[in-house]
Chain A
Amino acid sequence: MTNNTTTAQKIPTLTKEDFVSDQMVKWCPGCGDHAVLSSFRKILPEIGVRKEDIVVVSGIGCSSRFPYYVKSYGFHGIHGRAAALSSGIKIANPKLQVWMITGDGDSLAIGGNHFIHVLRRNLDINIMLFNNRIYGLTKGQYSPTTPTGQKTKSSPHGIIEHPFNVGELAIGAQGTFFARAVDTDPKLMMEVMLEASKHKGASLIEILQNCVIFNNKTFTDITARETRDDNQIHLKHGEPMLFGKNSDKGIILKGTKLEVVKIGENGIKEKDILVHDKYQWESGIHLLLATMAPPKYPMALGVIRSIADFTYDDKMENIIKQEKENNPIKNMDDLLNSGKTWDI
């Protein structure tokens, strides 16, 4: 029924080669998607699910070609609708582990409605949202995450809109799991993918992914060797929120805001630093963490929020089970003959 029960089944030992399809990967050389695909194929043998129980679903966009490259059951849908497709698959057969692959255009623009509702329903599916802050497949128009002011093909005078923050939107939609990773860090990607697969409920991973052609270096401040230590913080449950080359910078809560501090400066000690609690029900700190961004803050990576709550698919299965046991209408003949009838 859930990931837990599938884990209990005997699953033959698999390798990443078991998940390589016979289709040629057609993303641009240097695209961040290659790294995501490679990480994903590597974790699939580890998640404890039979290979025929894995379904990869997508919408439209560069990222959405993903299902063709994974040897599993796969469905490449239509623009924006991956969440609705995934919902139908999971509700129809909750034994399946559904991975939904989507992008910033697919899920935050045309598919925004389905995206927030799949999170709200807390369906037990895993969502990987590749955020490259651009429309790549249509060649360079701005997306709902492109920063204000950026000039793109469809914003020649600079964007005059406010961008979405994926984590903020997801937590606002009552998402129970939100993690963030960067395409340059396979280890982190695999770590959050594994955790997402174990989380019961809708798990959202935002992957900051570089489009080499139309939005190259959009995340360079976060990923470049020389700046990443100061601009990334890897959150780990139960550990203080420390970052920086020498792990001497940290995050504290000051009043109602987060603040970056340096240990040893102004009398700050390690015990003053916030300790990450991804299981905390109240979303306040998680929201603050999700919205941190350079230059003022480091970008929060890792699992930011992971709370336990009921899932739509579990509730549905329970009701069906109860109804089958207790409802006197057991089959269609019962139904047809129920209520007011008369003989002639």
Chain B
Amino acid sequence: MTTKQQKVVELENVVVRFAGDSGDGMQLTGALFSDTAAIAGNDFVTFPDYPAEIRAPQGTVAGVSGFQIHFGHKEIYTPGDTADVLFAMNPAPLKKNLIWVKPGGTIIVDTDTFTEKSLIKAEYTSNPLEDGSLKDYNIIKAPISELTKKSVEDIGLDNKMILKSRNMFALGIMFFIFNREFAVADEFFEQKFKANPLVVESNKKILRAGYNFAETIEALSRITYKVEPAALAKGKYRNITGNVATAWGLLAASEKSGRNLFLGSYPITPATEILQELAKHKSLGAKVLQAEDEIAGIVSSIGASFAGSFAVTSTSGPGLSLKSEAIGLAIMTELPIVIVDVQRAGPSTGMPTKSEQSDLLQALYGRNGEAPCIVIAASSCANCFYYAFEASKLAMEHMTPVILLTDSYLANGSEVFKIPKMSQLPAIKPPIVKADDPDYEPYKRDPEKLNRQWALPGTPGLRHRIGGLEKEDGSGNVSHNPENHQIMCEYRAEKVQRVANYLEPQRVFGPKSGELLVVSWGGTYGVMVETILEMQKQGKKVSLAHFHYINPLPKNTAEIFKGFKKIIVPELNLGQFVYYLRMHFREFTFEQYNKIQGLPFMVKELADKFNELLEEK
């Protein structure tokens, strides 16, 4: 598409950040840009960064919404620490995002928005475009508002409408810089504004105006960039967010088990999309009850599980707190249920749109009585699909609640997902009792797994009663017998521990022995891999063990720890997994590294910390 002589520079990987007011359409701009990366065959990871308020006052730092994409022709694991290119639609996004731009990085601004009034709103005391404070960056000044208006003045749309499309002018500029095709965006306009051909036309024009503008101005036109396709395995791909991947993993488990999915859930940031996504798929038999509260969400699921559905509830930390008593009921009645906790920054309401790993101990222990359940954690947007599937399989085959931990960062982020074939996924075989089984007893256990069986109401010959009171071993009748209580508590604990016999062994990324082992879990996987890869390239003897199975832990865990002189556990909390590991493995010394700012780790800070440990004698 380039017409004049220019240099095309090939890049390994690039981080681009779009930032504007929360009404500026930054998420959409980012999503469209991601689609072009997909078409170009790049690997990518994206991350939206938006405020808790839906529309905070326009032009203020509080109302800034951002979208970051990291794409490349190598494998991409994170949305990137800092941006190579920042697109700032107004002064406030510039103010808020400057710290996330690489020194020497490119910043594109809409100069029309740098008025005295908006500078004051953004709390600037002088105009950053003029006061020299941005001298270390490559600033591209573009009168975007004005040019957007001009480009469609003949179409006859009102000004307000036109200015809403400013983001498409910005996208046009990016299309030029990164040599992208118009087709993806055009298709989108035609779909989205089907009813209004004028809007389709104006968006197309504005997009091209942005492109042409970039081609014309000196500062941009000399160099454009190209990111070659990534070496991804052959197959069919799509872009997927963690929440959608979670919902689909659950649906896949429903299909594989032959049990209709039931979700009881109450809207809560950042888990709501799971509820919304599952509500769409009634053609797959999914029944979704938007419950009156978090408690009804899980309790209705327990009811549905009793009745034979594959039952799920989805929530975030505050909701998990409310569900505690009911999780105990599911543990006592030994019914399968998956509890998805999309973690966010706590305690209490905390920072609802920010990510954290601070619900781990709640998931493990936040209940009255001896109440163990399986706890597993997904580690990437795409593998939310597989861990949701795995959580469901374990719940149904072992007859127990499973808590699946994801987090805000995985849930809202997106990445390239290789589409699996359903025939490749393992079977799920819940222990359902046949009608009129003469040997049926509600609490008779499988000798291997120790699970009880699932006897579904409506089945002749299996009428029985269960509940939250302690059960007599075998018969399931109410029992206050002291010895029986001990036996049952031990059964429930042992049943969960035996799940380890059915898990994949823990893997090590890098050599199986060395100076330093990094032990991490959950949503920090991408940044850990990126850090470890970089350090290994420098010849450092560091490996990574990233955990997905928390309770029970994989059986080879201690074996792995033995191979290293030092172990460090970095977490986005004050040290919950490290506390758990210290309790279980008293023979090892665990260093810890904790960040609790509602933000992900950055490669640099991790590498600094790990290097410090390697140098210490």
Contact = CB atoms under 8 A, between A and B. Distances in A.
B63 interface: no
B35 A340 contact: yes
Interface in B25-50: 35, 38-39, 41
Contact of A88 (B238, B289, B421, B458): B289
A95 B468 contact: no
A29 interface: no
A55 B462 CA distance: 12
Given A68-B478, A72-B463, A78-B299, A316 B287 contact: yes
B227 to A, nearest CB: 15
Interface string B214-244: 0000000000000001001111111100000
Nearest to A82: B299
Which among B255, B333, B460, B468 has the highest number of chain A CB atoms within 10 Å?
A: B468
Given A73-B457, A84-B303, A331-B422, A340 B238 contact: yes
Interface in A302-344: 316, 319-320, 323-324, 326-327, 329-333, 335-337, 339-344
A163 B456 CA distance: 40
A88 B282 contact: no
B285 A86 contact: no
Interface string A232-255: 000000000000000000000000
B251 A332 contact: yes
B300 A84 contact: yes
A304 B33 CA distance: 62
Interface residues of B, number: 69
B465 A113 contact: no
Given A68-B478, A332-B255, A77 B284 contact: no
Interface in A31-71: 50-53, 55-58, 60, 67-68, 71
Interface residues of A, number: 59
A78 B325 contact: yes
B487 interface: no
A324 B309 CA distance: 18
Given A84-B295, A88-B303, A343 B35 contact: no
B464 A52 contact: no
B238 A341 contact: yes
Interface of B: 35, 38-39, 41, 229, 232-239, 248, 251-252, 255, 260, 262, 264, 281-285, 287, 289, 291-293, 295-296, 299-309, 311, 325-326, 328-329, 333, 419-422, 456-469, 477-478
Among all A-B residue pairs, the 10 with the closest Cβ atoms: A88-B303, A76-B467, A327-B283, A74-B465, A88-B300, A84-B299, A92-B304, A92-B307, A88-B304, A73-B457
Interface of A: 21, 23, 50-53, 55-58, 60, 67-68, 71-78, 81, 83-93, 95-96, 113-114, 117, 316, 319-320, 323-324, 326-327, 329-333, 335-337, 339-344
24 contacts: A21-B465, A52-B459, A57-B303, A71-B463, A74-B464, A78-B326, A78-B329, A88-B303, A88-B309, A91-B262, A92-B262, A92-B305, A93-B307, A324-B282, A332-B255, A332-B284, A335-B281, A337-B236, A339-B238, A340-B38, A341-B419, A344-B41, A344-B232, A344-B233
